[in-house]
Amino acid sequence: MAPTILVTGGAGYIGSHACKALAMAGYRPVAFDNLSSGHRWAVRWGPLEVGCLEDAERLDAVIATYRPVAVMHFAAFSAAGESVVDPAKYYENNVAGLLSLLAAMRRAGLDRLVFSSTAAVYGSPLSTPIDEDHPQQPINPYGATKQAAERVLADFASAYDIRSVALRYFNAAGADRDGEIGEAHDPETHLIPIVLEAAAGLRPEVAIFGDRYETPDGTCIRDYIHVADLADAHVRALRWLADHPGAHAFNLGNGEGFSVREVIDAARRVTGRPIAVRVEDARPGDPAVLVADARCASDVLGWRPDSAELDTQIADAWRWLTGRYRTLNTRPNSTSSRHRQPAPSSVVVAR
């Protein structure tokens, strides 16, 4: 029997790609997800158990049923802008949710965790690219909750021998290379899917959040990393944990930054479609530049991103988006107006 990994948030964007990578690597992923933002259709490589992290009995029952050997913890809220206006939501899920999960792990004698962290723990960088020793001064509650969670993991490693790897993602992008799963948030807040929806004519334009940052074109610079490369890093971290007690953290990025305007230009190039833009006020909690120094993940985990090129990431996301809307519109029962969208190949594109 393949070793089982409990994947909280396994129906979400990065969690579902991790489930696929786990299955391809010979594990059985069990997705534990409350479906608040995840999707049943994204769980394809193992069972789905619907439940909430704060439900201790439910967690205990799922762990007793499947007897996982380790946990990958993705279930969390991740919109930096939203966290500024509703921090309670973020602390409850991202910190209290982790504590509940760790309590269940301790009851079951489970001692391995791969944790979904973020570049937002660093705040506005003092130097760039950012390595793991860069000071941590989060500038939004989302980053603060992940920093607090990492501190919990360090203390739990010392006191209870729960070993962990926190993976600090820069900006997840792209979709499964086979087109089986991809990003689908409702509402969508992330730049690349929004830009592609505009390319597809599913929204009239893209709002650029601020063009007066101290960057060459005035818009924010981010380091985009393919979601399949992120998933691969999780499998590597899991294996590495077998021989490495303690609490560890690695950055995951490509080491190259692209501005919002460069992303939009890349999407125009990849899709061949015009994309209208409008400049809006800067979004609260957004640092100007976030670019990773991920040499540690490369040296220690042997991780090498396969899809470092922005155009490849956008092309994979575009194939996923166009395929998804085609499927929604051709399903026999998909007459509900909520889901009916013009297929990107047939729409008139906003100019």
Which of 102, 157, 165, 208 is the binder for ligand UDP (CB under 6 A)?
208
Cα–Cα dist 236/254, whole Å: 17
Q: How far is the CB of 157 from ligand UDP (least distance, A)?
A: 27
Residue with tokens 């409850």: 92
Please say whether the dihedral angle defined by the alpha carbons of residues 236, 241, 247 and 248, taken in this order, is positive or negative. negative
**Per CB under 6 A, 207 contacts ligand UDP:** yes
Q: Report which residue's Cβ sits closest to ligand UDP.
A: 220
Q: Which residues contact 159 (CB under 8 A, 6 or more apart)?
A: none
Contact track, ligand UDP, 152-191, x by CB under 6 A: -------------------x-----------------xxx
- Is residue 260 within the footprint of ligand UDP (CB under 6 A)? yes
- Please identify which residue in the block is written with the tokens 């909430």: 52
Active site residue 142: yes
- What is the rounded end-to-end Cα distance, in angstroms, of the chain? 55
Burial classification of residue 348, based on how many CB atoms lie within 10 Å of its CB (0-12 exposed, 13-18 middle, 19 or more buried): exposed
Q: How many residues bind ligand UDP (CB under 6 A)?
A: 15
- The residue (of 4 and 147) whose beta carbon lies closer to ligand UDP is 147
Nearer to ligand UDP, 240 or 258 (CB): 258
| Contact range with ligand UDP by CB under 6 A, out of 6-14, 44-52, 200-208, 331-339 | 200-208
Taking the C-alpha atoms of residue 163 and residue 301, their distance in angstroms, rounded to an integer, is 16
> In this chain, which of 19, 98, 181, 194 binds ligand UDP, going by CB under 6 A?
194
Calculate the CA 341 to chain-centre distance.
Answer: 25
**Residue in 13, 66, 90, 142 annotated catalytic:** 142
Q: How far is the CB of 148 from ligand UDP (least distance, A)?
A: 18
DSSP label at residue 96? I
Task: Report the residue from 19, 70, 80, 241 that binds ligand UDP according to the rule CB under 6 A.
Answer: 80
Strand boundaries in 170-287, DSSP class E: 171-173, 206-209, 221-222, 224-226, 247-252, 258-259, 277-280
Nearer to ligand UDP, 51 or 287 (CB): 287
Would you tell me which residues interact with ligand UDP (CB under 6 A)?
80, 171, 189-191, 194, 206-209, 220, 222, 260, 283, 286
Q: Which residues are catalytic?
A: 142
